[in-house]
Amino acid sequence: MTLPQRVRARDRVPTTIIAAKFASSVWVPLDPSQQFPNCDGMGASMDEAGVKTLILARVREAAGRRKKPVVTAEFSLGSSGVRADLAVFAETTIGIEIKTAKDTLRRLHSQMAAYSRYFDHAIAVVAPCHLRQLTEHQLHGASLWTYDDEGALIVLRAGVRNIVEPSSLLDILTQAERRSLKFSAAMRRRYGDTSKDFWQSVGSRSIRPQDLALLSRFTDAREQARRAAAERELRWSKWLMAQGELEPASA
């Protein structure tokens, strides 16, 4: 199977259908004669943070001049035990799972099954070296993307829209959110500020891996905890040094 051309700026589509209008929805098995790299030989290939920057750049491109959607990383899917690597909340919801060359596909089936319960659209972005082992069954209707050595996203298959039951959305919400907010409003309240800070910070420049920290609601708290721990360690070290200086000289 010949890989589709990379996504270009002129292929821009609304954010709300970013997962729905890229390629044929018909599953086409990969050509056995096609050569794919071996994962063991891709140690220096793009890591998860690098792939996330590509995807977020694609989301920004798809939004164009419209308001950027709410985005977050490491989004917990209720009681499933699965976390979405990236989640996009607009008129529809999109969950994105990333498998780099350093990952395996062992959990992909169960992960994408969870995505299909909680997101309107799901996308699996996998390293080229995994494509030969990938099956339609593992995707649970998700779109399939990969990326090349130049860092361009390549769309292999568009997925289907999932039917998300209200009970699945309730499973994501806290008790307080269930009482007072609809799902979309709850996600905006939960992630709107960090998402806005992220989009304003990156503007139109290239998105860098270090920008991803802006998507965490707990970045400030973690930074404060890190600094507090460092200060405690410094005080402890000074105290130990002082104790050593107070020890009587040996005979």
Is residue 19 located within the same domain as residue 129?
A: yes
Is residue 95 located within the same domain as residue 155?
A: yes
pLDDT of residue 145: 96
- In degrees, rounded to 5, the angle at the alpha carbon of residue 144 between the alpha carbons of residues 205 and 38 is 90
Is residue 118 located within the same domain as residue 77?
A: yes
pLDDT of residue 226: 55
Regarding pTM above 0.85, the answer is no
Residue 137: CA count within 13 A, CB half-sphere: 3
Is residue 188 located within the same domain as residue 229?
A: no
Is residue 224 located within the same domain as residue 175?
A: no
How many independent structural domains does the chain possess? 2
Q: Is the pLDDT of residue 160 over 90?
A: yes
> pLDDT higher for 174 or 25?
174
| pLDDT tens column, 171-228 | 999 999 999 899 999 999 999 999 999 999 999 999 999 999 999 876 555 554 555 5
The domain containing residue 224 runs over which residues?
218-251
Q: Is the pLDDT of residue 22 over 80?
A: no
- The Cα–Cα gap between 111 and 72 comes to 18
Is residue 81 located within the same domain as residue 165?
A: yes
Is residue 41 located within the same domain as residue 108?
A: yes
